[in-house]
Amino acid sequence: MCGIAGIIYQQRSGPIGADLARMLQAMKHRGPDSTGYALYGEPGDLLVMRFTLADPNDPRDFSFSERLARNVREVEARLAKIGATIDRVDGESEYAYRASFRYDGELKPLADYVEDVPGAEVLSLGRSLEIIKDLGDAATVAEQYRLAGFAGTHGIGHVRMATESDVDIANAHPYWAYPFPDVAVVHNGQLTNYHYWRRRLERQGHRFQSECDSEIIAVYLAQSMADGLSLETAMKQSLRDLDGVFTYLVVTESALGMAKDEMAAKPLVLYQGADMVALASEEGAIRAVLDREIDTHDPYEGEVMVWSR
Amino acid sequence: MDAEPTTPEVRTGRYDVRGLADPDATAPKTSVISGHTAELDAADLTIRQINLELRRLMYTEGVTEVTVLNPKARHSIAVGLLLRCRIRIQGSLGYFGCGLIDGPEIHITGRVGWSAAENMMSGVVMVDKNAGSLTGAALRGGDLVVRGDVGARTGIDQKGGTIIVGGNAGSMTGFMLQRGRQIICGDVGHGLGDSMYDGAIYVGGQVASLGVDCVEAELTAADQELIDRKFRIYQLDRPGAFRKFVCGRKLWNYDSLEPSERKLVL
């Protein structure tokens, strides 16, 4: 089933970490397997990279923590070697880390170099995007990663009921559009031409973190934008190119967008306030942050909407 | 040697492994009753408690008019009520609101999510704002009135009753409609009346496209009378003209009879 949510403050920054945690927790019944957040803080001149070095399902053998410590040092060494000036590297949980650094070169070689470290997976990379995902419900993940204090401008989130692939971090949403900075997607539905698009995008040099069909959308959109299309045009084109049932939300450094397939098979409720927009699979999730009677509507089939900051 | 059959372990008290339902809930008895009317504040109640309290009021306290406060867009509220009564819901409902009812007149001052008034047998459900997809799915009777816009597949598998929409409707409106009527004042999306068997759909606005085996028919005086009467009852703004859409009967392939029918023919 899965539940998706998004929020954007158009004029100011807001408590998006706490907001999304409340919205997603209100949809726990739509997917209790894993929860993910893509949050946008105020952009700075540092690059932020969120990465994991193990999966929560991995067996905790004798050398587990020793191996993680060694691999973090290896990631730091590789960042330095490729020309990044590290600001700091923090452990966010037992196996997840956040690194901030200065770097002016190409992002793809950097991400590839880091992922070459055993067990390493780059969850997000960009000037303001941070992806946090783990097993458990929204409150568990928000507490584990201390998201209550995360202020920012916009973000999306996802609660997952796994149907097509494993319950682990790699298959949890949101998906970062590797290797394009600051683009992430959450998706509710199934894509039926996944293998077609995966082969096509792999031929163009992209690599995929997971077996999950939703990852296609993120890479597809980022590739279209890299080819010169605007976000809105790329999304409209995706309605034609992607086959299946889907409602997805996409975020870039400065915008939040939604798209719904031709059959309107997956729900989405939209609230447009004076300076903020909130969307979720159920109105109950929006009411978790706006506890009063509000006017909402469901976008129609084939509709694409983008809100910019 | 066969093992002795063991008696299955008896579990005392039911439980839901995810902690999402409360199977052993009881009616909270928090409503304020005065004569035949009552006020139910749903703010701190679970969905199941709200429905149990509604049933208690109607079935054991003899209340016929209830106002529900603070529904907070929750799902499955006011379902399965099989008697005549009046309910005013002050706010919005989530999915599956007012489903499986037979008799109540329900007025919702906010909006409803997907599948509102699903399988209603009789009664009236009136929604002041918008509704989600699958509104009035498998409706059997009664009137379902939405003043705002509705989503896709309105009245899918409808088998009776009337659905009236003040605003626009999405794609596949009247999908597999079998009997009953739909009156849409605004525009409708693609695939109107796709695979409908019978019944009629009246549209006041633009039709994006017709579905398989849906054709336009002439609007008769009886149709006009019906539309006028419904609009008078619910005091809606009537668009200038309506177009009527019915089944083209190209997909009617009822060659094989049921065994019971065959007996009658032979």
- Look at B20 and A295 and tell me if their CB atoms are within 8 Å: no
Give the bridge partners for B144, in sequence order: B125, B163
Cα separation, A193 vs A186, in Å, equals 18
Distances (CA, A) of B105 to B28, B82, B83, B123: 24, 11, 10, 5
Q: Does the CB of B202 have a partner CB in chain A at under 8 Å?
A: no
Q: Indicate which residues of A carry an active-site annotation.
A: 2
For the stretch B187-208, pLDDT in tens is 999 999 999 999 999 999 999 9
Residue among A283, A297, A300 whose CB faces B94 most closely: A283
For the stretch B24-73, pLDDT in tens is 889 999 999 999 999 999 999 999 999 999 999 999 999 999 999 999 99
Q: Does the CB of B211 have a partner CB in chain A at under 8 Å?
A: no
For the stretch A231-259, pLDDT in tens is 999 999 999 999 999 999 999 999 999 99
- Look at B91 and A287 and tell me if their CB atoms are within 8 Å: no
Task: Indicate whether A302 pLDDT > 70.
Answer: yes
Domain ranges of chain B: 130-248
pTM recorded for the entire structure: 0.92
Domain ranges of chain A: 3-44+127-308, 45-126
> Å from B150 to nearest chain A CA?
8
Q: Which of residues 118-177 of A touch B (CB under 8 A)?
A: none
Task: Indicate whether B14 pLDDT > 80.
Answer: no
Confidence of residue A178 (pLDDT cuts 50, 70, 90): confident
Cα separation, B91 vs B114, in Å, equals 16
- Look at A282 and B170 and tell me if their CB atoms are within 8 Å: no
Residue among B113, B129, B151 whose CB faces A295 most closely: B129
Give the bridge partners for A129, in sequence order: A40
Residue among A28, A284, A286 whose CB faces B74 most closely: A284
Under DSSP, the state recorded for A102 is: E
A296 vs B contacts (CB less than 8 Å)? 92, 111, 130
Q: Classify domain A45-126 at the CATH class level.
A: alpha beta
Confidence of residue A211 (pLDDT cuts 50, 70, 90): confident
Residue of B nearest to A26 (CA): B74
Q: What is the 3-state secondary structure (H, E, C) of chain B?
A: CCCCCCCCCCCCCCCCCCCCCCCCCCCCCCCEEECCEEEEECCCCCHHHHHHHHHHHHHHCCCCEEEEECCCCCCCCCCCCCCCCEEEEECCCCCCCCCCCEEEEEEECCCECCCCCCCCCEEEEEECCCECCCCCCCCCCCEEEECCCCCCCCCCCCEEEEEEECCCECCCCCCCCCEEEEEECCCECCCECCCCCCCEEEECCCECCECCCEEEECCCHHHHHHHHHHHHHHCCCCCCCCEEEEECCCCCCCCCCCHHHHHHHC
B132 vs A contacts (CB less than 8 Å)? 267, 269, 298
* Whole-complex ipTM: 0.91
Residue among A267, A287, A296 whose CB faces B133 most closely: A267
- Look at A300 and B73 and tell me if their CB atoms are within 8 Å: no
Residue among A29, A264, A282 whose CB faces B151 most closely: A264
Distances (CA, A) of A97 to A59, A160, A253, B265: 19, 22, 21, 77
> Å from A140 to nearest chain B CA?
14
Q: Which of residues 38-77 of A touch B (CB under 8 A)?
A: none
Task: Indicate whether B5 pLDDT > 70.
Answer: no
Q: Classify domain A3-44+127-308 at the CATH class level.
A: alpha beta
Q: Which of residues 249-268 of A touch B (CB under 8 A)?
A: 262-264, 267
Confidence of residue B11 (pLDDT cuts 50, 70, 90): very low
- Look at B133 and A298 and tell me if their CB atoms are within 8 Å: yes
Residue of A nearest to B90 (CA): A293
- Residue A42: phi and psi, rounded to 5, are -65, 125
Rounded to an integer, the average pLDDT of A54-81 is 95
Higher per-residue confidence, A91 vs B8: A91
Best of B92, B156, B184 to disrupt the A interface by mutation (most A CBs within 10 Å)? B92
